[in-house]
């Protein structure tokens, strides 16, 4: 039963490698707020989302939190396992529900611990892009004002979902951006006034993607360029 892969990492694999993996790949539904990686607990599953968005957040002891990474169809959940670590202090969960492929950790490790595996090289390049996203986010969180960060973040989500409408509440955006909900309210409202987005009661609609890109800080372009580079040599 050959299911069309839409996760970009899986899609980039040579046919033979895809066939080798396919017995271990299962399609699963990812529900909103489902936890994929629990802090400090063994990572048992790897996910290759393709129309869902997942987030890695760091939670502080006082309850505040910030997103430090965001994964969609361009990546996979469980990079820590690829890095020979069975646990990690951050939480990864589903931010926008959707479909994903799933693999058991043990199967993943067995296939990827082969230096010549095409999957191994793709994972390496993805982890690099992910590291760049995370570190750029670290800088962005310190240096850029909320309105620019909000534009950047919405465009990152939009690019990964590849549709203009998706569920998204202000409360959630506040958690991701590490600010208070009322602060998101004013910032999001300005974007709405400017005609870039429209939203109501947990439904977000992107009206002007180009406008979001322009309103975003330079971090957006830098981050997306890294993810494009993963696949450069495969489509060159």
Q: Can you give the binding site for DNA, defined by CB under 7 A?
A: 145-147, 169-171, 178-183, 185-189, 192, 199-202
Binding segment toward its own copies, per CB under 8 A, in 27-35, 47-55, 74-82, 96-104: 74-82
Q: For residues 62 and 210, which CB has a smaller minimum distance to its own copies in the complex? A: 62
Q: Does 139 contact its own copies by CB under 8 A? A: yes
Q: For residues 44 and 146, which CB has a smaller minimum distance to its own copies in the complex? A: 146
| SS3 state of residue 67 | strand
Q: Does 64 contact its own copies by CB under 8 A? A: yes
Considering Cα of 230, then 26, then 67, then 91, what sign does the dihedral take? negative
169: partner contacted, choices DNA, its own copies, none (Cβ within 5-8 A by kind): DNA
Beta-strand (E) ranges in the chain?
Answer: 26-30, 35-37, 45-49, 53-59, 65-71, 91-96, 98-104, 165-167, 197-200, 203-206
Q: Does 125 contact its own copies by CB under 8 A? A: yes
Q: Which of 33, 135, 186, 214 binds its own copies (CB under 8 A)?
A: 135
Q: Which of 54, 92, 159, 226 binds its own copies (CB under 8 A)?
A: 226
Task: Quote the tokens at residue 47.
Answer: 């996910």
Measured between alpha carbons, how far is 101 from 79 in angstroms, rounded to an integer? 15
Q: For residues 56 and 216, which CB has a smaller minimum distance to its own copies in the complex? A: 56
Choose among 83, 73, 91, 72: nearest CA to 109.
83
185: partner contacted, choices DNA, its own copies, none (Cβ within 5-8 A by kind): DNA
Measured between alpha carbons, how far is 234 from 118 in angstroms, rounded to an integer? 11
Choose among 93, 76, 70, 108: nearest CA to 223.
70
Q: Phi, psi (5° rounding) for residue 117?
A: -65, 130
Q: For residues 179 and 230, which CB has a smaller minimum distance to DNA in the complex? A: 179
Q: Which of 38, 45, 121, 164 binds its own copies (CB under 8 A)?
A: 121
183: partner contacted, choices its own copies, DNA, none (Cβ within 5-8 A by kind): DNA
Q: For residues 120 and 192, which CB has a smaller minimum distance to DNA in the complex? A: 192
Q: Across the chain, how many H-helices and E-strands are there?
A: 11, 10
222: left (phi over 0), alpha (psi -120 to 50) or beta: alpha
Q: How far is the CB of 175 from DNA (least distance, A)?
A: 11
Binding site for its own copies (CB under 8 A): 56, 58, 60-61, 64-66, 68-69, 79-80, 82-85, 88-90, 113-115, 121, 124-125, 127-128, 130-132, 134-139, 141-143, 178, 218, 222, 226, 229
């Amino acid at each position: 039963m050959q299911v069309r892969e839409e996760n970009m990492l899986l899609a980039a694999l040579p046919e033979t490698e895809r066939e080798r993996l396919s017995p271990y790949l299962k399609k699963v539904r990812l529900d909103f707020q489902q936890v994929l990686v629990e802090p400090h607990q063994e990572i048992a599953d790897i996910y290759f989302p393709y129309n869902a968005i997942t987030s890695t957040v760091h939670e502080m002891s006082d309850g505040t939190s910030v997103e430090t990474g965001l994964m969609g169809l361009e990546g996979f959940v469980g990079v820590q396992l690829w890095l020979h670590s069975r646990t990690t202090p951050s939480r990864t969960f589903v931010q926008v529900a959707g479909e994903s492929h799933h693999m058991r950790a043990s199967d993943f490790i067995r296939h990827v611990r082969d230096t010549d595996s095409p999957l191994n090289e793709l994972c390496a390049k993805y982890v690099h892009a992910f590291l760049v996203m995370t570190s750029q986010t670290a800088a962005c969180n310190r240096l850029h004002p909320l309105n620019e960060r909000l534009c950047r973040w919405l465009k990152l989500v939009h690019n990964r979902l590849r549709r203009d409408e998706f569920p998204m509440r202000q409360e959630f955006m506040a958690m991701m951006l590490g600010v208070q909900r009322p602060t998101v309210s004013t910032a999001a409202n300005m974007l709405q006034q400017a005609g870039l987005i429209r939203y109501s009661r947990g439904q977000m609609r992107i009206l002007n993607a180009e406008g979001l890109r322009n309103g975003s800080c330079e971090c957006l372009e830098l981050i997306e360029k890294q993810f494009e580079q993963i696949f450069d040599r495969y489509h060159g």
